[in-house]
Structure 1
Amino acid sequence: MSNTKDIPFSPPWQISDLGKPDEPKVTELAAGPAVARFAKMPIVIAEDDLVSRTLMNSLMEKWGFKAVVTKDGHEAMAALRAEQGPALTILDWMMPEMDGLQVCRRIRESGKMVYVIMLTSLGAKENIVEGLHAGADDYLIKPFDKNELLARIQVGLRILELHAALSARVKELEKAVGQIDDLKLRIPL
């Protein structure tokens, strides 16, 4: 018998809105339940190239995701600030004004829970290391395989789900500690 209990989780999108895990939302690939459950969670895409932006938006729609497509780092940051819960973003590195590395750094400075996939044509080992050090959680090199991109998005969604569950559990424990402290004051030891 398990001692686990449901952990409250209240993102701005509702689990009931996302469909049941057994209802497939992805037509092209057998993507698994994580995609179906989180299809309405926004994926912010920052890509300055119109063709790449259009391709990414098309893939997200085909896979059942809600995409917020932006053309530069400033727009991506504005879109991420507008989202109330955890988010996933796919960033190009080389963009005008604010590049993907700057966006990564600002996201990490903000403290907001965002899973960052850097998607770029810069594939040298030192670029990968620099991108990860700047705050990217994952790094994918263009041209990319769409199945691999979907798998990496699924990983990001699993991590966001685990982070949300952990945060809820921490709040629960903090509340319990507060109640214990309150009882200590009321009951002489």
Structure 2
Amino acid sequence: MNSASSIQESRDEIVPSGPLIRLSLWVGDRNLPFWVLSIGMIVMLLWAGAFKMTKPGAEGIIPLVSNSPLISWQFKLLGPYMGSNMIGATEWTAALLFIVGYARPKAGLIGALITTIMFFITSTMLVSTPDATIAWKGFRYMNNLGLFLFKDVISLGVSLYFISYYGRRVMLDEARTDS
């Protein structure tokens, strides 16, 4: 007996009590967290990727990229406009892989790997970017720039969830074709 079937059998024996438990089962049965996260990620990647391919988008990330030890080489090698175009194209590629991933989980898994690397790099910019935090009364707070960068820490977590989700889907698909 595999763990998925034993979990389902255990769940079938449990009678849900209380509205919050019924709500949690309803949300889980419809896989709403995945759908909200994936559609949100796709929209964000397409929108941000398109903006990075514009002059204001490229100029807006210069201070972030130029202070990053992990990616500043790209702007030095290619210049800010071509470098920003490449970042935007990477975001579009990941978004398209997530869309294809609905039908072909391996594509979603590749998209998740791309965004995990991408958001790991941009999460480090929270530390490497000057003025991402401000001092006030002896404590450092994230300012608007810091909060903007912090969303990439959350996006990194979403990307790791997608690796787990799509990885399981790929394994299930491979198990079905082997049977």
TM-score, with structure 1 as normaliser: 0.31
Task: Give the structure with the larger helix fraction.
Answer: 2
Q: Larger Cα Rg: Structure 1 or Structure 2? A: 2
Task: Give the structure with the larger strand fraction.
Answer: 1
